[in-house]
Chain A
Amino acid sequence: MGQTFAQKVLAKKAGLPRVEVGQIVDVEPDVCMSHDNTAAIAKTFAKIGVERVKNPERFVVVLDHTVPASTEEYAKGHKEIREFVAKQGIKAFYDVGVGVCHQVLPEMGYALPGRLIVGSDSHTTAYGALGAFSAGVGRSEMAALYATSRIWLKTPASLKIDVRGKLKEPVTSKDLVLKIIGDIGADGALYKSVEYAGEAIEAMSVASRLVLSNMAIEMGAKNGYCAPDKKTFAFLEPRAQAEYTPIYPDPDAEYEKVLTYDAAKLGPHVAKSHTVDNVSPVEEVEGTKIDQALLGTCTNGRLEDLHLAARYLEGRKLAKGVRMIVLPASREILLDAMREGLVEIFVRAGAMVLNPGCGPCLGAHQGVLAAGEVCISTANRNFQGRMGSNEAATYLASPATVAASAVTGVITDPRKAVRGGGA
């Protein structure tokens, strides 16, 4: 019997010819990522009593969660992190303004095919889009990794999601992943390795695949893999920090389950508050009044997302009473968006374009919600209280649905909205 991607990558890292589902392996990740929580991790690391970080070249630190610092406390945390990385010789440090970790690691060439990556952030699954095995861990685990470089992982069973046909514009990978999460539930892939495959995935850009892998955690998955291909290699060509060897599942690998979807039949989908698996076709929530629209984040803050949204906003104004926040996923994307005239379209429409960061997505700052308010967002989570008041509601949708809704002031089917040819 052949092996899944998860079996092959974990066997390779453990130095074994093969590993079985359920087998625990002790492995050294190639890359370990942490963000603003590095301040807390450094304190936990100090408790271990080891002076120096072992293998500092394996650690990447990105400041993104509350940037620039909104309070003196956050500023203090950032300062401690700057001092920690300098002292420990962690050179892969990206200070405030560079971008959100889940865009920075692919962009800066750390997220590579065949690599084992762990991060103290649940959406670390994102790097599976480039063919890495990539999972979230906790803060104590990151502190232990500073000391030992090692971690135990259980070899997960695998779930294959085969997506045939092609998505019909303006339906995006966000609609697809919301539909899947709605079908199988927030624990539908619990402890499992998800492998996305099929014609629709092959047709997608790297940016679109990052949405699928980012949101694999929202179905409980340990990682969300897309097979690296020419598009992956082209994306990485000017970026890769090291040589890499792609790993592919065997054709006769054993999956716990195989789900099949037809992309051509898929319409826009929305996750209603307060869970990501509370999904319905956009038609069922059309007309719901919104107060705020959030475009961007590590989920949908890439150039193609901004282009798609701009088609609904070019030459138009936000609906009266609606606020819109645009949160590009990185400085590189912001620069591209400026060069391509997208920032001007958003600002003229009445939106606020913020620096790259996480801010409002987790309710840290920069656009949190009051009781009774409704936000439509391209982010990845809509838990109660996440974006501010626990009496506010967040709907998750694609950039097309968010932009179309910002113009009308109510949740709108982007297929019915007026749109231009794109900037």
Chain B
Amino acid sequence: MIEGKVWKYADDVNTDVIFAGKYTYKPMTAAEMAEHALEDLDPTFAKGVKPGDIIVAGANFGCGSSREQAATCVKASGVAAVIAVSFSRIFFRNAINEGLPVVELASGTSMIAKDDTVKIDFDKGVVTHKGKEYRFPPLPKEVLAILNDGGLIPHVKKALAATKP
């Protein structure tokens, strides 16, 4: 269960505005990436975001490039989860693989505004906003296992260690 303050964005937020192409082949730490998070979408985000905040967006969040830094920079900025009507499939995978929880609220997110507070109950699959509950389907068990291990790399390490004689 997490509760956080909302940063609200529209449909089709692409990975270029989340993490610009000019940075993609520069070696950066996750903390450095976070300084550029959402730079071309909302210049106030990187400075204003607080640990535990939640991004809420419309459809097709993270469309465009496969760059994983789009998920890394959001996670490193302290964002606890991203709620969207839908996600681009590569961003969805990258987020899980970086240990960033993603919630697909297909029924819509238009009722949620910037600076609102939302609560997410991952076990029950419920988002609570202004006393109203909105259901979302829980992640498949294969995907949840990766998220629960903190991302794909720790998940693979654990799996490989388990198969060692």
Q: Which residues of A contact B (CB under 8 A)?
A: 24, 26, 36-37, 39-40, 44, 47-50, 65-66, 73-74, 77, 120-122, 124, 135-141, 143-144, 147-148, 152, 154, 186-187, 190-191, 220, 222, 275, 277, 362-364, 381, 383-386, 390
If A122-B90, A144-B152, A220-B89 touch, whether A187 touches B68 (CB-CB below 8 Å) is: no
* Number of residue pairs spanning A and B whose beta carbons lie under 8 angstroms apart: 124
Q: Which residues of A contact B12 (CB under 8 A)?
A: 186-187, 275, 277
Partner of B156, one of A36, A147, A222: A147
- Say whether B151 faces chain A, with CB atoms less than 8 Å apart: yes
If the complex has contacts A122-B65, A148-B156, A364-B22, are A386 and B16 also in contact, measured as CB distance less than 8 A?
yes
Interface size of B as a range = 35 or more
Tell me if B21 and A386 are in contact (CB < 8 A). yes
A122–chain B nearest beta-carbon distance, Å: 4
CB within 8 A of B16: which of A24, A39, A48, A385? A385
B117 CB–A CB distance under 8 Å: no
Chain B residue contacts of A381, Cβ below 8 A: 16, 64-65
Task: Output the nearest chain B residue to A275 by Cβ-Cβ distance.
Answer: B12
Q: How far apart are A155's CB and chain B's nearest CB, in angstroms? A: 12
Say whether B46 faces chain A, with CB atoms less than 8 Å apart.
Answer: no
Contacts of B94 in A (CB 8 A): 138-140
- B66 and A190 contacting across the interface, CB-CB below 8 Å: no
Complex: chain A residue closest to B155, CB-CB: A144
Cross-chain contact A148 with B97 (CB below 8 angstroms): no
For A37, the chain B residues whose CB sits under 8 A away are: 24-25, 67
Q: Which residue of A lies closest to B87 (CB)?
A: A190
State how many angstroms separate the Cβ of B84 from the closest Cβ of chain A: 11
Determine if B156 and A186 form an interchain contact, defined as CB atoms under 8 angstroms apart.
Answer: no
Q: Assuming A26-B142, A383-B14, what are 7 further A-B pairs, CB within 8 angstroms?
A: A122-B64, A122-B90, A141-B97, A220-B88, A362-B21, A384-B16, A385-B16
Contacting residues, chain A, for B98 (C-beta < 8 A): 140
Which residues of B31-86 are within 8 A (CB) of A?
A: 40, 59-60, 63-68, 71, 86
Could you list 17 A-B pairs, sorted by A, with CB under 8 Å? A37-B24, A48-B156, A66-B25, A124-B66, A135-B89, A136-B66, A137-B93, A138-B93, A140-B94, A140-B151, A147-B156, A187-B60, A363-B21, A364-B25, A381-B16, A383-B14, A384-B17
Q: Are B160 and A137 in contact (CB under 8 A)?
A: no
Contact A137/B59 with A73-B27, A77-B25, A191-B89 known, Cβ cut-off 8 Å? no
Assess the A48–B157 pair: CB atoms within 8 A. Answer: yes
Inter-subunit contact B160/A147 (CB<8 Å): yes
Q: Are A48 and B22 in contact (CB under 8 A)?
A: no
A187 touching B63, Cβ below 8 Å = yes
**Shortest distance between the CB of B105 and any CB in chain A (Å):** 15
Instruction: Indicate whether B153 reaches chain A with its CB closer than 8 angstroms.
Output: yes
**Is B140 an interface position by the 8 A CB rule?**
yes
Nearest-Cβ distance from residue A48 to partner chain B, whole angstroms: 6
Contact of A138 with B16 in the complex, beta carbons under 8 Å: no
Scoring B59, B86, B153 by chain A CB atoms within 10 A of each residue's CB, the highest score goes to B153
Complex Cα gap A154–B87 (Å): 15
Q: Select the residue from B59, B64, B71, B86 with max chain A CB neighbours within 10 A.
A: B64
Task: Tell me the bound Cα distance from A148 to B160 in angstroms.
Answer: 9
**Docked complex Cα distance between A384 and B20 (Å):** 10
Point out the residue from B68, B86, B160 that lies within 8 Å of A140, measured CB to CB: B68
B26 contacts the other chain (CB 8 A)? yes
> Is the beta-carbon distance between B97 and A36 smaller than 8 angstroms?
no
Q: How far is the CA of A50 from the CA of B153 in the complex (A)?
A: 11
Task: Find out whether the CB atom of A140 lies under 8 angstroms from the CB atom of B66.
Answer: no
Are A24 and B142 in contact (CB-based, < 8 A)? yes
B88 proximity list for chain A (CB < 8 A): 187, 190, 220
A220 with B153: CB separation less than 8 A: no
> B residues 2-27 with Cβ under 8 Å of A?
11-12, 14, 16-17, 20-22, 24-27
CB distance from A60 to the nearest CB of B (A): 16
The listed residue (B66, B68, B140) touching A24 by CB distance below 8 A is: B140
| Residues of chain B contacted by A40 (CB below 8 angstroms) | 27
CB-based contact B17/A48 at 8 Å: no
Q: Which residue of chain B is the closest to A362 with respect to CB atoms? A: B21
Q: Are B60 and A122 in contact (CB under 8 A)?
A: no
Q: Is the CB of A190 within 8 A of B160?
A: no
CA of A143 to CA of B68, assembled, Å? 12
Residues of A close to B159: CB separation below 8 A: 148
Residue in chain A with minimal CB distance to B163: A148
